[in-house]
């Protein structure tokens, strides 16, 4: 795994532009929402597969973390009734250099998590803690919704949603997204001029 310590992605990139660049492919259509107001993150995915109602795999990451600069993407909790992470675990992940967390499961201690600088996307909240028995799987591709996510794929997430770009397509998709932004800005200038 390469060291990912610098976020070199442009500030203008948004989930809408990311979706436009792929014609809607790679959008996580699975009811996940930003827990934080104005949550936004762009970075490479670090993928794990958790077991139903069990978050031992997160404990394993904390014990042997990857280099900083990744977005933790957790699969396997689409029907869990317990929390993928709570406030203390979220703080641990932030201290280890994770840029954000995306889980198809639930979280707890939502108020504590909202106070952190690290954004989180999830299905909802619960007060119930997870078991810590099954080790889960670290690094293998996962599926969230109908989207296959590999380690190193680019995560673009904000208030409008979450988009995954395949790592081999990032450079090409950045060009397409910038072309769409430039086109939108030209249209915006015309619209603003028409109101004067």
- 155 forms bridges with which residues in the sheet? 43, 164
Q: Is the pLDDT of residue 174 over 80?
A: yes
Confidence at residue 3, expressed as pLDDT on a 0 to 100 scale: 42
- A 10 A CB-CB count for 96 gives 15
Q: Which of 72, 76, 69 has the alpha carbon at shortest distance from 61?
A: 72
User: 71-75 and 41-49 as β-strands: parallel, antiparallel, unpaired?
Assistant: parallel
Q: Is the pLDDT of residue 43 over 50?
A: yes
Rounded Cα distance between 135 and 11, Å, is 36
98-130 b/e (C-beta count within 10 Å ≥ 16 → b): bbbbbbbbbbbbbeebeebebbbbbbeebeeeb
Q: Is the pLDDT of residue 37 over 90?
A: no
Rounded Cα distance between 162 and 8, Å, is 19
Rounded Cα distance between 176 and 194, Å, is 27
Confidence at residue 55, expressed as pLDDT on a 0 to 100 scale: 97
Give alpha helix (H) positions in 68-169. Answer: 87-95, 110-115
Q: What is the SS3 assignment for 84?
A: strand
pLDDT in tens, 183-195: 999 999 888 888 8
Q: Over pLDDT 90: what percentage of the chain?
A: 86
pLDDT in tens, 9-26: 999 999 999 999 999 999
pTM assigned to the model: 0.92
Confidence at residue 7, expressed as pLDDT on a 0 to 100 scale: 56
- The residue ranking higher by pLDDT, 4 or 75, is 75
Reported confidence tier of residue 30, pLDDT bands at 50, 70, 90: confident
Rounded average pLDDT over 136-147? 96
């Amino acid at each position: 795994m390469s060291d990912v310590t610098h976020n070199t992605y442009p500030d203008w990139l948004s989930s809408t532009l990311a979706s436009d660049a792929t014609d809607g492919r790679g959008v996580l259509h699975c009811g996940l929402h930003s827990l934080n107001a104005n949550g936004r993150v762009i970075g490479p995915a670090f993928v794990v597969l958790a077991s139903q109602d069990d978050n031992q795999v997160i404990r394993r990451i904390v014990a042997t973390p990857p280099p900083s600069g990744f977005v933790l993407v957790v699969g396997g909790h689409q029907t869990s009734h317990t929390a993928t992470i709570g406030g203390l675990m979220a703080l641990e992940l932030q201290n280890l250099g994770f840029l954000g967390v995306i889980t198809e499961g639930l979280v707890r201690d939502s108020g504590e998590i909202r106070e952190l600088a690290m954004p989180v996307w999830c299905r909802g909240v619960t007060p119930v803690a997870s078991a810590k028995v099954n080790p889960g799987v670290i690094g293998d591709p996962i599926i969230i919704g109908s989207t296959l996510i590999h380690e190193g794929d680019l995560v673009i997430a904000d208030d409008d949603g979450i988009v995954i770009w395949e790592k081999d397509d990032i450079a090409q998709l950045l060009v397409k997204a910038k072309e769409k932004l430039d086109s939108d800005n030209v249209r915006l200038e015309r619209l603003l001029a028409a109101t004067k």
